Amino acid sequence: MEVKTLLRGTLMGGVLFAAILPAAAEDSVYVQLPTYRTGPYAGSGIPIANGMADYITMLNERDGGINGVKIVFDECETGYDTQKGVECYEQAKAKKSLVFNPWSTGITLAVIPKASVDKMPILSMAYGLSAAADGKTFPWVFNPPMTYWDGASGVVKYLGDQEGGLDKLKGKKIGYIYLDAGYGKEPIPLLEQFATQYGFTLLKYPVPGKEMQNQSSQWLNVRRDKPDYMVIWGWGAMNPTAVKEATKIRFPMDKFIGVWWSGGEDDARGGGQQAKGYMTLNFNAVGTDFPAVQDIKKYVVDAGKSKVEAAKFGENLYNRGVVNSLYMAEAIRIAQEKSGKKVITAEDMRVGLENLSIDEARLEKIGLKGFIAPVKVTCDNHSGHNKMYVQRWTGDKWEKASDWFDPMSDVVNPMLMAAAKSYAETNKPWPARSEPCAN
């Protein structure tokens, strides 16, 4: 290639590069959706990305956005990689996204310290740092409807119910198999606390991220240790592998329970019919039997504006993505009310998230009755510690196996507050909350 052509190409590229900054159309707000449709976690990431995008598209198509303000969005591919996630965060900041959804505990941890400086609300829906539920210490971080610690307490509570009371857990062995990263390590302090409190033994089986598709050694240990229950905190390719391995060693599936992130249809399908009875927590309904979900079908999927495969529409993780966008949409609506502006800023969005309240009446109105439990976030409590339920795999779909129940907030809350305090302590000087409480 001639030097001249090279030069010309570079120049042209530069001009194009300058032209990318989008001119903000009137009456629209921008939200960046970090997603991962590539990499080892894509199996979990794709349905979520589809769900998030489709709900927002549906709102834009059906209602013309929220109170006439369109939600402009684009995706930023993180590949579940912290480096790329931080780059997406910088991009979200530069393009003035209303909110940042990291969709990875690692990325969440990386952006939490930046959030209050950059005035960028972080919505980490039921993942990320559990201690971020303390709104006094983390005014810019939100993790509704509940934290991992709430989830871990829910698991213990459910297992106690199965045994006929929490005191019956004494002397039992509970195995904990987890992704050996921030995500899987997060609930360990709480589980350990429960282990001493209720007298059960906690056996830990870490699965390194790069070996998550080969868990035979961990499950060999499980077979040797013979725990009474197994609890899984997995994500991406780790889940189907674990379910498959569990069926291989003939671990009783009705004693195997996972967190909500281990509850994708594809995760359980890996074990086939033998995975029948596998349970996970959940905080959203599965299926398409809701007016708003039908609207997504009508306005988005049938109109060819979605990337979702028809057969996977309404599956668990897809609906989870819808919940994430539902939170954002409701927060935008509340922020509009609170600020009196139609086109809100990220700072208004923070107020919206802090006042996020979706009750039964509201759910009924937007056509999602029974889709999620009512959610309420306050200034002090950025998670809300809302309700969850247990679902069971029937061999080809999930069915509800318990009623909605509360986490054990009496145990979790004091630990959350202590953890938030120690986080602020180790990250000195941690800024004190300066934002006024608006609810």
Partner 1 sequence: MFYREAGQFKSSYATDQAIFPLLQDRIGFFTILAIAFIGVPLLADDFILDAIAIPFLILTLATIGLNVLTGYAGQLSLGTGGFMGVGAYACYKLTTAFPEVNIILLILLSGVFSAGVGLVFGLPSLRIKGLYLVVTTLAAQFFLEWCFIRIGWLYNYNVSGAIDSPERSLAGGLVLTGPNADSVTRYLVVLAIVAVMTLLVKNLIRGRIGRSWMMIRDMDIAAELMGVRPLVAKLSAFAVSSYICGVAGAMFVFFYLGSVEPAAFSITLSFQILFMVIIGGLGSLIGCYFGAAFIWILPIFLRNVLPAIGIDIGAENIVHLTSMIVGVLIILFLILEPHGLARLWQLGKEKLRVWPFPYA
Residue 35 exposed, middle or buried by CB count within 10 Å (0-12, 13-18, 19+) = buried
Q: Which is nearer to partner 1, 32 or 391 (CB)?
A: 32
Considering the complex, what minimum distance in angstroms separates the CB of residue 430 from partner 1?
Answer: 9
The Cα 307–Cα 142 span in angstroms is 28
Q: Which is nearer to partner 1, 94 or 438 (CB)?
A: 94
Considering the complex, what minimum distance in angstroms separates the CB of residue 6 from partner 1?
Answer: 8
Considering the complex, what minimum distance in angstroms separates the CB of residue 20 from partner 1?
Answer: 4
Contacts with 19 (C-beta within 8 Å, 6 or more apart), sequence order? none
Considering the complex, what minimum distance in angstroms separates the CB of residue 287 from partner 1?
Answer: 27
Pairing of strands 389-393, 279-282: antiparallel
The Cα 419–Cα 134 span in angstroms is 9
Considering the complex, what minimum distance in angstroms separates the CB of residue 352 from partner 1?
Answer: 23
Residue 18's CB is within 10 A of a number of other CB atoms, namely: 8
The Cα 316–Cα 145 span in angstroms is 16
Helix (H, G, I), strand (E, B) or coil at 75: strand
Q: Which is nearer to partner 1, 188 or 437 (CB)?
A: 188
Q: Which is nearer to partner 1, 126 or 366 (CB)?
A: 126
Dmax over CA atoms of the chain, in Å, equals: 80
Q: Which is nearer to partner 1, 60 or 336 (CB)?
A: 60
Considering the complex, what minimum distance in angstroms separates the CB of residue 238 from partner 1?
Answer: 13
Q: Which is nearer to partner 1, 207 or 335 (CB)?
A: 207
Helix (H, G, I), strand (E, B) or coil at 72: strand
Report how far apart, in Å, the C-alpha atoms of 12 and of each of 16, 17, 18, 341 are: 6, 9, 10, 40
The Cα 169–Cα 404 span in angstroms is 22
Considering the complex, what minimum distance in angstroms separates the CB of residue 188 from partner 1?
Answer: 8
Can you name the residues that pair with 358 across neighbouring β-strands?
375
Report how far apart, in Å, the C-alpha atoms of 144 and of each of 221, 308, 346 are: 35, 25, 18
Considering the complex, what minimum distance in angstroms separates the CB of residue 285 from partner 1?
Answer: 27
**What residues make contact with partner 1 under the rule CB under 8 A?**
3, 13, 16-17, 19-20, 35-38, 74-77, 79, 81-83, 86-87, 90-91, 93-94, 105-106, 109-110, 112-114, 116-118, 129, 180-182, 185-186, 188-189, 206, 208-210, 307, 419, 426-429
Q: Which is nearer to partner 1, 9 or 370 (CB)?
A: 9
Q: Which is nearer to partner 1, 90 or 289 (CB)?
A: 90
Amino acid at site 183 = Y
